[in-house]
């Protein structure tokens, strides 16, 4: 928090009484009161410094130096909060992310920087915190709880144990323990897992959840560890069970994970109380941010699915503020709260006109009114791709136990717009002792190469989905270990793609016929760009247009692709150490009959 309420509270009292004059006054608004659930006509707000002094009748707070905004015909709401998201998924550095989301009405975000932490460790978390301190966007950090996400089955760039987690929990700006992805460890009462959870509880901080697929007895057991939220929900039943257990149900609408349609049915159909329901984005790419929006888009989607507009706004304001025990400071437009305020031209369509953060107008008409510039980053944060050597086509060949013919092979089944995968068995062709990718069935080779320490580790397999006819697509964004992920039909193109990313320091590259067709450079930890949001969005749109021309019709297919290495979600994943059955949590071979 930028200021302490006790440094300003006596001044706020004098302004509320009219003994001192406000710095900013908003008049004649249609006031959306998320505390009472009312819409109040003709209300005003008086602001002193970065806090709200009073609401309602505010004419007595206007002086000769007061800035007055006439909000006639507009709805006044609190600034939106994103209760769970990863800045890294936008592919923008934090400052440029703020540029993208503030005009959309987002004034606070709760970030889990476990992506950059998997590359840079504690330095990555510190980098995010330090960059956030100069921004009008309020950034609250939840400490990465699982770095690596699954140390048994992957290589990461860092290790954050209980000692490191406890230290970070004490840092100013850290609000919670981030999503506890190691739910098998929770259910097995793993000592290290509980050392992290208990450290957060000792400090009075909440523990965020990640519990894909858990229901019934196992979900209740997971919640009994004091884990108070969940964003891995895809169905009405998922949301109902979590709300009944007293958890905060995070209803997600990212670039690819379009879960609001089903999860809000817990409110619209089951008629459950919405006070523990929150709207979140989780993962949203730069092009989606600029084209569709951020939290304004998620609120709009909830309204489109039948949620009352006032409830939908509560789910993006007061509800997450209460969950994080911050409702005295953010989440509503009320005396003593931070002056984070939106003026909307339309309530149901969530058309944001004016954004006020800390009592200052920072955006209007979809444009920033203040200049934000990224800091200079330590050069070592820009050189994080370390391969053991240049890769060749030979590295991507997959040998079969037969010389010719067909053989059954275990294949990862990718699903459009879904964080889950299927564990499939497909009959694949063998030529001269090598398994061949099959574009007719959208079955590609997939490889994960360790890129943090140059160990040479490489896992190889097959994935079905996506539908594009391309030689290779490669990325240094591969949740959560962020090793190098390569998907393709051509061994030569897969090698070229991998080497290109090593050369530029990370990003996403598309290759076909020995030619680089698109390249998005992401030099910051191999995850983020320092270019302007519009530049990154344009490059993403070009990449997706190219993929569509080559047969891929999926929504945000890269987001789905980047999760192929995330070995804490069902059913089958691949890391630099091989194929992982993430239901039984064991290594599995490529050939199921062996």
Tell me the three-class secondary structure of 193-220, residue by residue: HHHHHHHHHHCCCEEEECCCCCCHHHHH
Contact 361, 355 (CB under 8 A): yes
Establish if 444 belongs to a structural domain: yes
Contact 399, 436 (CB under 8 A): no
Is residue 427 located within the same domain as residue 289?
A: no
Beta strand pairing call for 174-180 and 138-143: parallel
Is residue 263 located within the same domain as residue 385?
A: no
Q: What gap in Å lies between CA 51 and CA 553, rounded to an integer?
A: 47
Beta strand pairing call for 174-180 and 206-209: parallel
Q: What gap in Å lies between CA 324 and CA 81, rounded to an integer?
A: 11
Establish if 40 belongs to a structural domain: no
What is the token pair recorded at 57?
Answer: 């009748």
For the domain that residue 264 is a member of, what is the CATH number? 3.20.20.140
Q: Compute the chain's Rg from CA coordinates.
A: 25
Task: Collect the ranges in the chain with pLDDT lower than 70.
Answer: 1-8, 594
Contact 445, 460 (CB under 8 A): yes
Q: Among 354, 372, 390, which residue terminates a domain?
A: 372
Is residue 200 located within the same domain as residue 293?
A: yes
Q: What gap in Å lies between CA 475 and CA 506, rounded to an integer?
A: 7
**Sign of dihedral through CA atoms 553, 558, 564, 568?**
negative
Establish if 478 belongs to a structural domain: yes
Contact 297, 312 (CB under 8 A): no
Tell me the per-residue pLDDT of 201-240, one tens digit each, with 9 for 90 and over. 999 999 999 998 899 999 999 999 999 999 999 999 999 9
| Eight-state DSSP code of residue 114 | H
Contact 446, 462 (CB under 8 A): yes
Contact 49, 8 (CB under 8 A): yes
Q: What gap in Å lies between CA 555 and CA 544, rounded to an integer?
A: 9
Q: What gap in Å lies between CA 188 and CA 185, rounded to an integer?
A: 5
What pLDDT is recorded for position 417? Answer: 83
What pLDDT is recorded for position 185? Answer: 92
Is residue 227 located within the same domain as residue 93?
A: yes
Is residue 271 located within the same domain as residue 403?
A: no
Establish if 11 belongs to a structural domain: no
Q: What gap in Å lies between CA 580 and CA 564, rounded to an integer?
A: 11
Angle, CA of 247, 264 and 344, to the nearest 5°: 105
Residue (of 225, 232, 221) closest to 181 by Cα position: 232
Is residue 247 located within the same domain as residue 386?
A: no
Establish if 52 belongs to a structural domain: no
Is residue 143 located within the same domain as residue 269?
A: yes
For residue 232, the SS3 value is coil
How many residues are given for the chain? Answer: 594
Determine if the peptide bond prior to 571 is cis (ω within 30°).
Answer: yes
Q: What gap in Å lies between CA 214 and CA 500, rounded to an integer?
A: 40
Residue (of 142, 147, 84) closest to 568 by Cα position: 147
Establish if 529 belongs to a structural domain: yes
Q: What gap in Å lies between CA 458 and CA 154, rounded to an integer?
A: 10
Residue (of 84, 534, 132) closest to 295 by Cα position: 84
Q: What gap in Å lies between CA 293 and CA 287, rounded to an integer?
A: 9
Establish if 328 belongs to a structural domain: no
Establish if 18 belongs to a structural domain: no
What is the token pair recorded at 49?
Answer: 């410094």
Is residue 391 located within the same domain as residue 293?
A: no
Number of compact structural domains in the chain: 2
Q: What gap in Å lies between CA 421 and CA 569, rounded to an integer?
A: 8
Beta-bridge partners for 174: 141
**Residue 143 CB burial class (10 angstroms; 0-12, 13-18, ≥19):** buried
Is residue 90 located within the same domain as residue 230?
A: yes
Is residue 535 located within the same domain as residue 396?
A: yes
**Sign of dihedral through CA atoms 520, 523, 526, 527?**
negative
Is residue 166 located within the same domain as residue 298?
A: yes
Q: What gap in Å lies between CA 97 and CA 255, rounded to an integer?
A: 15
What pLDDT is recorded for position 594? Answer: 61
What pLDDT is recorded for position 418? Answer: 85
Determine if the peptide bond prior to 473 is cis (ω within 30°).
Answer: no
Domain assignment of residue 403, given as a range: 380-588
H-only helix segments in 316-423: 318-323
H or E element, residue 543: helix 533-549
What pLDDT is recorded for position 569? Answer: 86
For residue 559, the SS3 value is helix
Q: Among 352, 372, 392, which residue terminates a domain?
A: 372
H-only helix segments in 121-230: 122-132, 162-169, 183-187, 191-202, 216-223
Q: Among 323, 341, 372, which residue terminates a domain?
A: 372
Residue (of 452, 457, 475) closest to 384 by Cα position: 452
Is residue 445 located within the same domain as residue 535?
A: yes
């Amino acid at each position: 928090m930028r200021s302490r309420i006790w440094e300003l509270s006596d001044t706020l009292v004098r302004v509320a009484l009219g003994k001192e004059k406000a710095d900013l006054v908003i008049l004649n608004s249609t006031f959306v009161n998320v505390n009472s659930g009312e819409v109040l006509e003709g209300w005003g707000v008086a602001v002193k410094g970065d806090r709200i002094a009073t609401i309602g009748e505010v004419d007595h707070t206007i002086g000769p130096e007061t800035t007055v905004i006439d909000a006639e015909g507009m709805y006044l709401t609190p600034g939106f909060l994103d209760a769970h998201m990863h800045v890294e998924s936008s592919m923008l550095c934090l400052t440029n992310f703020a540029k993208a989301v503030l005009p959309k009405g987002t004034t606070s975000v709760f970030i889990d920087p476990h992506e950059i932490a998997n590359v840079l460790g504690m330095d990555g978390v510190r980098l995010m915190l330090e960059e956030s301190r100069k921004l009008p966007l309020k950034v609250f950090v939840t400490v990465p709880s699982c770095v690596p996400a699954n140390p048994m089955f992957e290589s990461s760039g860092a290790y954050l144990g209980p000692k490191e987690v406890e230290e970070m929990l004490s840092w100013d700006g850290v609000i919670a323990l981030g999503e506890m992805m190691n739910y098998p460890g929770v259910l097995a009462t793993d000592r290290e897992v509980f050392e992290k959870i208990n450290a957060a509880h000792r400090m009075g901080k909440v523990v965020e959840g990640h519990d894909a697929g858990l229901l019934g007895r196992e979900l209740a057991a997971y919640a009994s560890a004091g884990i108070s939220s969940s964003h891995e929900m895809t169905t009405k039943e998922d949301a109902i069970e979590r709300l009944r257990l007293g958890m905060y149900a995070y209803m997600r609408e990212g670039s690819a994970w379009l879960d609001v349609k089903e999860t809000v049915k817990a409110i619209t159909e089951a008629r459950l109380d919405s006070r523990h329901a929150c709207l979140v984005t989780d993962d949203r790419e730069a092009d989606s941010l600029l084209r569709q929006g951020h939290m304004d888009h998620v609120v709009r989607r909830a309204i489109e699915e039948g949620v009352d507009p006032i409830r939908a706004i509560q789910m993006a304001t007061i509800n997450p503020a209460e969950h994080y025990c911050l409702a005295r400071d953010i989440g509503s437009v009320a005396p003593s709260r931070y002056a984070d305020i939106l003026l909307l031209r339309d309530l149901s369509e969530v058309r944001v006109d004016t954004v006020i953060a800390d009592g200052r107008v920072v955006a209007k008409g979809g444009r920033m009114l203040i200049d934000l510039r990224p800091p200079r980053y330590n050069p070592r944060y820009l050189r994080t791709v370390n391969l053991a050597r240049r890769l060749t086509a030979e590295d991507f060949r997959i040998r079969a136990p037969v010389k010719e013919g067909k053989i059954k092979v275990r294949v990862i089944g990718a699903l459009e717009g879904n964080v889950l995968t299927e564990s499939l068995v497909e009959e694949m062709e063998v030529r001269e002792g090598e398994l061949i990718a099959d574009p007719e069935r959208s079955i590609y080779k997939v490889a994960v190469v360790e890129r943090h320490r140059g160990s040479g580790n490489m896992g190889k397999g097959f994935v079905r989905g996506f539908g594009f006819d391309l030689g290779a697509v490669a990325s240094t964004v591969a949740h959560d270990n962020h090793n190098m992920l390569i998907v393709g039909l051509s061994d030569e193109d897969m090698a070229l793609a991998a080497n290109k990313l090593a050369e530029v320091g990370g990003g996403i590259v598309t290759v076909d016929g020995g030619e680089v067709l698109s390249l998005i450079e992401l030099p910051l930890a191999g995850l983020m760009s320092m270019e302007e949001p519009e530049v990154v969005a344009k490059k993403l749109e070009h990449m997706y247009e190219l993929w569509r021309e080559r047969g891929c019709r999926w929504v945000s297919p890269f987001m789905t692709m980047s999760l192929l290495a995330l070995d804490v979600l069902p059913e089958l994943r691949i890391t630099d150490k091989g194929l992982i059955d993430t239901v039984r949590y064991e290594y599995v071979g490529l050939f199921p009959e062996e």
